[in-house]
Amino acid sequence: MARPTTAGKNRQTGFTYIALLISIAVTGAALAAVGELTSVAAQREKENELLFVGAEIRHAIGAFYERSPGGAKRYPTSLEELVEDKRHPVPQRYLRRVYPDPMTGKPDWGVVEAPQGGIMGVYSLSELQPMKTGNFSTADQGFTDGRRYSDWKFLYAPPAPPAQAASSPSPS
């Protein structure tokens, strides 16, 4: 009686091994794709938070400037002044706290100095390239050309006074 050969069994074992390696490679590629999507989603979320926090700081700077006591308007000298403005009999609060930069996670912001002194705006210190390149709000239209988050400047500029119409004598 002839002994059964094990050649067929070895071929099946080799095939199973190759199938297992292929499935591990496919699973690895799928996990890498999921990781990339998660990373992109996290950056977009930070970007949206930067736009929100930057707009809040811009609004707080504007409120500080417009509510200056007396006739002379001035910008805050620090972001902490937006948390507690002691120029009034009852301190005013324009921000609850100085929010951290969402892109860096640190409480440090770049500041834009006003011509007459003080802080008229802030920007992120991140050098990453933004994902968002269009569809900005009216106040943020200048961000369209930004190559880095640090190019997104959240500035408050007081509205220009209305132009005075030149008074000319009416024809008679």
CA 73 to chain centre: 29
Decide which of 168 and 144 is more confident. Answer: 144
**Distance, CA of 28 to CA of 87 (rounded, Å):** 60
C-beta of residue 64 within 8 angstroms of C-beta of residue 94: yes
Percent of the chain at pLDDT above 90? 52
Residue 7's pLDDT band, with cuts at 50, 70 and 90, is: low
Reference 127, options 155, 147, 109; nearest CA is 147
pLDDT at 8 (0 to 100)? 55
What's the rounded mean pLDDT across residues 108-135? 93
C-beta of residue 66 within 8 angstroms of C-beta of residue 73: yes
CB atoms within 10 A of CB 84: 11
- Tell me the per-residue pLDDT of 31-90, one tens digit each, with 9 for 90 and over: 887 777 777 888 899 999 999 999 999 999 999 999 988 888 999 999 999 999 999 899
pLDDT at 58 (0 to 100)? 97
110-113 sheet: strands from edge to edge = 110-113, 119-123, 153-155
pLDDT at 10 (0 to 100)? 58
Strands (DSSP E) along the chain, which ranges? Answer: 110-113, 119-123, 153-155
Q: 153 pairs with which residues across the strands? A: 123
Find the distance separating the first CA and the last CA of the chain, reported in whole Å: 133
Mean pLDDT estimate for the chain: 86
